[in-house]
C-alpha cells in the first residue's frame, strides 16, 4: 500500500511490514520446494544401495565422501566469488539459476538408474563378468556425484541469501518460520511419500526435479537482493593465487574462527554415521519403514509447531547462547543410546509409542537448537564476507566429513565382525556419534567463552585479527539464563521418562535383567542432569 511508511531497512532494501511479510513468504515457499527436493537423495539412496547389497563403506563413500570432495573445492570457491560478484540479479541468485537445469537432470537420472543400468549391461556387458548390479551401483555413484556437484552451487549460496535480505533484528523469527516450513515439508515427505521409496523411486525423483525447477525457480525470480558497492581491486587483473591468499589470510589467521570451524567439522563427522545409517538403527529395534517414516514425520511436525515460538525466544536469548546451552546438553547425553547395545525394547510398537509420548520433553530444546544455528553463524562471521567465511568453514568441515564418511562405513563393517547379525551392528552407532559430539562441544565451548569476552549479546563485533581468551578482559553479562536452562534440561527429563517406561515394561514382563539395565541408565541420566546444571553455571562465568 502506497500510504505505508517504510520502517525496516536491510542495507539499501527498505521494507514496510507488509513488504517484509511478502519477502518472508517467497523465501519460505522456496524453502518448501528446496527441502522436498533435498530430502529424496539422502533418504532413498541408502535404501536403494542396501537393496543392491552394497557394503556399508560404499554407502558412506557415496553419501558422505563424494559430497565432501565438492565441499572442499566448489563450496569455498563459490562462496568467495559470490561475495564479490555483482550483477543486476544480485550476487547469490545467479549461481542458483545457472545450475538449476543440471541439478534437475541429475535427479531424473538417479530415478531412472535401474533402467539405464539394465540397458547398459544388456548393450555392453551381457555375457561378461561384470554383473548388472555393479553397473547400477556405479551409475548411482556417478549420478549422485553429479547431483552433489550442482547442488553444491545452490547450497553454498542459498543460506547466504537470508543474511543479505533479512534484517538482523528479524533473523531469529525468520529462521523459526523457515525451519517450521522445512520441518513441515520434510514431515509430509516422510509421512506420505517415504513408504514408496523403493517401489516408486522413478516417480519420486522426477517429481522432485519438477518441483525444484518450477517452485524454487519462481522464488529466485521474485526475491530482490540488496546492492553492494563496487569492489576496490585497484585495477588488478583477476588472480586465483591472490584470491587464495586473501581467503586464507582473512579466514584462517584467528584461533577464534578455527574453534568455530572445528566445531562444525566434528559435528559433521558425527553426523556422517547417523545420516547414512540412522534409519538402519531404528530398523534394528524392530521398527518397520512405515513406522520409521511416521515417527520421523510426527517428530518433524511437532518440532515445526515449536519452531514458530522458538524463533522469538532465539532473538530474545541470543542464538549464540541458545546453541551453547543446547550443545552442552547434547554432550552430556551423547552416549545415551548405549542401552540398546545390551538389550531390546519390550516390542517395536512399545518403542514407537514411547518415543511419541516423550517427544514433547525434547521438542522445544530441539527447535531452539535448529532455529539458532544459522543466526548464530550470521552474527559470529563478518557480514560483508559472510559467504567467504562460510566457505572457509565448509572447507574444513568437508575434509573431515569426506574422510569421516568412509571411516564411518568401515566402522560399521568392523563392528559387524563382532556381532551376531548385520542389523545388530547398528546398535553401536552411539560410540561414533557420541565421541564426536563431545569433541565438537569442546570447540563450541571455547568459542563461546571468547564471544562473551568480545562483548557477548550486547557488544560483540567479529574480530579482524587473532584473539585469545587469556588476552581478553572478563565481561559480566547476567550469568545463567534460567528459562533457557529449564528448556534444555527438559531434554534430560524426557530421556529419563523413556528409561523409566522401558524399565517398568520389562519388570512387568519378568525380564529383570533388562529392567535393571534401564534402572542403571536412569541413575546415570539423573547424575548427568545435575552435572549439566553445574556446568552451565561454570560456562557462564565472566
Q: b/e for 77-114, b at 16 or more Cβ within 10 A?
A: bbbbbbbebeeebbbbbbbbeebbeebbebbbbbbbbb
When mean pLDDT is compared across 33-37, 190-194, 482-486, the lowest value belongs to: 190-194
pLDDT in the model for residue 240: 66
Rounded to an integer, the average pLDDT of 473-484 is 84
* DSSP string covering 447-464: HHHHHHHTTHHHH----S
Q: Is the pLDDT of residue 232 over 70?
A: no
pLDDT in the model for residue 1: 40
Parse the chain into domains and list their residue ranges.
19-226+241-539
Residue length of the chain: 542
| 329 in Cβ contact with 365 (< 8 Å) | yes
128's torsion region: left (phi>0), alpha (psi -120 to 50) or beta? Answer: beta
Q: Is the pLDDT of residue 103 over 90?
A: yes
Global pTM reads 0.72
pLDDT tens profile 118-157: 999 888 887 777 888 989 999 999 999 899 889 888 887 8
Specify the CATH number of the domain 19-226+241-539.
1.20.1250.20
Question: Cα-atom radius of gyration of the chain, to the nearest Å?
Answer: 24
Cell numbers 523459526 correspond to 176
Rounded to an integer, the average pLDDT of 423-433 is 87
CA 513 – CA 366 distance, rounded (Å) = 32
Rounded to an integer, the average pLDDT of 82-92 is 81
pLDDT in the model for residue 237: 55
When mean pLDDT is compared across 19-33, 328-342, 391-405, the lowest value belongs to: 391-405
Amino acid at each position: 500500500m502506497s500510504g505505508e511508511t517504510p520502517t525496516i531497512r536491510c542495507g539499501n532494501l527498505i521494507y514496510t511490514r507488509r513488504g517484509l511479510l511478502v519477502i518472508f513468504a517467497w523465501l519460505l515457499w522456496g524453502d518448501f520446494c528446496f527441502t522436498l527436493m533435498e530430502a529424496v537423495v539422502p533418504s532413498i539412496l541408502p535404501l536403494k544401495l542396501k537393496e543392491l547389497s552394497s557394503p556399508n563403506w560404499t554407502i558412506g563413500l557415496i553419501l558422505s565422501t563424494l559430497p565432501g570432495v565438492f565441499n572442499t573445492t566448489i563450496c569455498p570457491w563459490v562462496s568467495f566469488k559470490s561475495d564479490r560478484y555483482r550483477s543486476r540479479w544480485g550476487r547469490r541468485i545467479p549461481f542458483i539459476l545457472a545450475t538449476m537445469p543440471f541439478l534437475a537432470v541429475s535427479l531424473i537420472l538417479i530415478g531412472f538408474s535401474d533402467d539405464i543400468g539394465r540397458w547398459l549391461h544388456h548393450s555392453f556387458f551381457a555375457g561378461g563378468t561384470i554383473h548388472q548390479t555393479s553397473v547400477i551401483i556405479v551409475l548411482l555413484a556417478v549420478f549422485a556425484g553429479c547431483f552433489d556437484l550442482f547442488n553444491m552451487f545452490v547450497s553454498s549460496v542459498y543460506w547466504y541469501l537470508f543474511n543479505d535480505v533479512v534484517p538482523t533484528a528479524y533473523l531469529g523469527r525468520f529462521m523459526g518460520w523457515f525451519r517450521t516450513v522445512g520441518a513441515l515439508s520434510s514431515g509430509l515427505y516422510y509421512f506420505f511419500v517415504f513408504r514408496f521409496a523403493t517401489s516408486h523411486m522413478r516417480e519420486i525423483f522426477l517429481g522432485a526435479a519438477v518441483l525444484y525447477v518450477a517452485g524454487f525457480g519462481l522464488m529466485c525470480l521474485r526475491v530482490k537482493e540488496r546492492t553492494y558497492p563496487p569492489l576496490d581491486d585497484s585495477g588488478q587483473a583477476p588472480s586465483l593465487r591472490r584470491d587464495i591468499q586473501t581467503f586464507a589470510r582473512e579466514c584462517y589467521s584467528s584461533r577464534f574462527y578455527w574453534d568455530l570451524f572445528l566445531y562444525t567439522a566434528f559435528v559433521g563427522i558425527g553426523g556422517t554415521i547417523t545420516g547414512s545409517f540412522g534409519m538402519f538403527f531404528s530398523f534394528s529395534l524392530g521398527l518397520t519403514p512405515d513406522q520409521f517414516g511416521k515417527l520421523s514425520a510426527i517428530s518433524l511436525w511437532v518440532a515445526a509447531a515449536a519452531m514458530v515460538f522458538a524463533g522469538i525466544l532465539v532473538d530474545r536469548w541470543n542464538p549464540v547462547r541458545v546453541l551453547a546451552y543446547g550443545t552442552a546438553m547434547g554432550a552430556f547425553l551423547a552416549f545415551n543410546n548405549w542401552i540398546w547395545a545390551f538389550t531390546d525394547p519390550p516390542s517395536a510398537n512399545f518403542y514407537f509409542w514411547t518415543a511419541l509420548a516423550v517427544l514433547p520433553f525434547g521438542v522445544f530444546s530441539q527447535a531452539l537448537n535448529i532455529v539458532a544455528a544459522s543466526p548464530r553463524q550470521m552474527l559470529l562471521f563478518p557480514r560483508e564476507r559472510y559467504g567467504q567465511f562460510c566457505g572457509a568453514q565448509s572447507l574444513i568441515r568437508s575434509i573431515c566429513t569426506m574422510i569421516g564418511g568412509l571411516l564411518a562405513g568401515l566402522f560399521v563393517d568392523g563392528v559387524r565382525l563382532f556381532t551376531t547379525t548385520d542389523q545388530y551392528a547398528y546398535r553401536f552407532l552411539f560410540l561414533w556419534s557420541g565421541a564426536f559430539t563431545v569433541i565438537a562441544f569442546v570447540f563450541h565451548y571455547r568459542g563461546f567463552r571468547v564471544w562473551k569476552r568480545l562483548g557477548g549479546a550486547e557488544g560483540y563485533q567479529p574480530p579482524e585479527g587473532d584473539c585469545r581468551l587469556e588476552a581478553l578482559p572478563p565481561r559480566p553479562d547476567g550469568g545463567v539464563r534460567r528459562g533457557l536452562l529449564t528448556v534444555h534440561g527438559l531434554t534430560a527429563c524426557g530421556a529419563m521418562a523413556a528409561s523409566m517406561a522401558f524399565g517398568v515394561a520389562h519388570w512387568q514382563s519378568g525380564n529383570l535383567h533388562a529392567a535393571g539395565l534401564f534402572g542403571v541408565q536412569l541413575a546415570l541420566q539423573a547424575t548427568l542432569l545435575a552435572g549439566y546444571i553445574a556446568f552451565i553455571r561454570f560456562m557462564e562465568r565472566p
